[in-house]
Amino acid sequence: MNTKIITIKEGDCLKEVLREAGDILKAGGVVAFPTETVYGLGADALKTDSANKIYEAKDRPADNPLIIHISRFEDIYAITSQVPESAKRIAEAFWPGPLTMILPKAATVPHETTGGLETVAVRMPSHPVAQTLIELGGGFIAAPSANRSGRPSPTLAKHVTEDMLGRIDMIIDGGAVGIGIESTIIDLTINPPQVLRPGSVTVSMLEEVIGKVAEDNTLLTEDGQAPRAPGMKYRHYAPWGELIIVQGEPDLVTERINREVSKAHAAGEKTGVIGSSQMLAGYRADVVKSVGSREDEEEIAGNLYRILREFDEEKVNRIYSEAFESQGMGQAIMNRLLKAAGHKVITVTEFVPESEKERSKE
Ligand code: TXA
Ligand code: MG
């Protein structure tokens, strides 16, 4: 398949430059487009074979449901069978924006789109390109992140090209996305409502609007229970090399990472570190990358997936990462990082003196 790439320039009339993309969607094709969270892979959500095309392009398991993107609140009524008061309040507070709601589905939505479920995920993105494209494409666009299954979600059009060239009809290059991690998902079909995927809209922000919100307790642990969002069970966002998170006091973390790096070097491996700007100077790996300031979670979210892809490109075998706060937006960052690492975490509690190091090697 020949994939057409179009680039949005400042001052473009979006309705004009996106007309062809809208026509492709209406004709049943697949178009990748920027949203404020990550790039999405869009197709008409109400056509039964669209989901299959998306799954095929992504190599995605068919039980993994898609989010339907809308551009006007009232369109929610066409795809859901019940809109509770809480959904209206959440929409008022966070739409358009990085928030997805799970609601009972209407008969108009094919089971192919919902992965066989009786519920449907709905989001209204705030990115102007996404909004205009949804409108021109018929109003109901199913869109997972535009990566091949198992790769980090794309935050630049170049990432989409790497994964999707030749597999879809069009890629719209709208520059870097704003947020960098996927939307928060809240399930409103249960009481209390439950966050199934943490994102930049945090539990406490949601609680301010609708009261008590629960969290899927499988999100930051790995206890064998299946998460309620089917997609969360897969080892997403996996880098090519092995990723290990090291947590603890900053000095201990630096010391431990450097020690692991020396061991990996001795074994002939290429090493990398994902560090905060505050701690970067202390590392001795082959490739050391700053994910941002520890005090700026938005910066960290914005850099994380790009950095994971860069380590792939540079063929780094072993990557060590600092851990980040597991509160607020930090919870979303840690959730993605833990998944990328397959939950491999080293917790350092004490300094290993030089004399002990030799012995611990044996
Ligand atoms: O920020 C985002 O949400 C991006 C952009 C493109 O909008 N999209 C995205 O889609 O992250 P995707 O397909 O990569 O992730 C959708 C997640 C999956 O974990 C899926 O299992 C879950 O949403 N999901 C979708 N429908 C669901 C449903 N009815 N019940 C529970 N989970 C659902
Ligand atoms: Mg995804």
Query: Where are the chain's structural domains?
Result: 4-190, 242-361
pLDDT of residue 222: 57
Domain 242-361 has CATH 3.40.50.11030: yes
Give bridge partners of residue 289 from the DSSP assignment.
Answer: 274
* 121 within ligand 1 shell (Cβ under 6 A): yes
* 102 within ligand 1 shell (Cβ under 6 A): yes
pLDDT of residue 226: 64
In ligand 1, which atom is closest to the CA atom of 41? 6
Tell me how many degrees the CA angle 32-194-326 measures, rounded to the nearest 5: 80
pLDDT of residue 353: 62
pLDDT of residue 61: 74
Centre of ligand 1 to C-alpha 361, Å, is 44
Distance between CA atoms of residues 222 and 335, nearest Å = 11
Distance between CA atoms of residues 241 and 239, nearest Å = 6
Centre of ligand 2 to C-alpha 64, Å, is 10
Centre of ligand 1 to C-alpha 336, Å, is 14
* 100 within ligand 1 shell (Cβ under 6 A): yes
| pLDDT by 10s per residue, the chain, length 362 | 999 999 999 999 999 999 999 999 999 999 999 999 999 999 999 999 988 899 999 987 777 899 999 999 999 999 999 999 999 999 999 999 999 999 999 999 999 999 999 999 999 999 999 999 999 999 999 999 999 988 899 999 999 999 999 999 999 999 999 999 999 999 999 999 999 999 999 999 999 999 999 998 766 555 556 667 776 665 567 788 999 999 999 999 999 999 999 999 999 999 999 999 999 999 999 999 999 999 999 999 999 999 999 999 999 999 999 999 878 889 999 999 998 999 999 999 976 665 555 444 43
| Residue 118 CA neighbour count, 13 Å, CB half | 4
For the whole model, what pTM was predicted?
0.93
pLDDT of residue 360: 45
pLDDT of residue 361: 43
Tell me the best of 31, 50, 64, 67 to mutate to test the pocket of ligand 1, counting ligand atoms within 8 Å of each CB and taking the most: 67
Query: Tokens standing for 271?
Result: 């090493």
Class of domain 4-190: alpha beta
Beta strand pairing call for 141-142 and 67-69 = antiparallel
pLDDT of residue 223: 55
Question: Looking at the CA of 332, which ligand is closest?
Answer: 1
User: Per residue, what are the HEC states of the chain?
Assistant: CCCEEEECCCCCCHHHHCHHHHHHHHCCCCEEECCCCCCEEEEECCCHHHHHHHHHHHCCCCCCCCEEECCCHHHHHHHECCCCHHHHHHHHHHCCCCEEEEEEECCCCCCCCCCCCCEEEEECCCCHHHHHHHHHCCCCEECCECCCCCCCCCCCHHHHHHHHCCCCCEEEECCCCCCCCCCEEEECCCCCCEEEECCCCCHHHHHHHHCCCEECCCCCCCCCCCCCCHHHHCCCCCCCCEEEEEECCHHHHHHHHHHHHHHHHHCCCCEEEEEECCCHHHCCCCEEEEEECCCCHHHHHHHHHHHHHHHHHCCCCEEEEECCCCCHHHHHHHHHHHHHCCCCEEECCCCCCHHHHHHHHC
* 86 within ligand 1 shell (Cβ under 6 A): no
* 232 within ligand 1 shell (Cβ under 6 A): yes
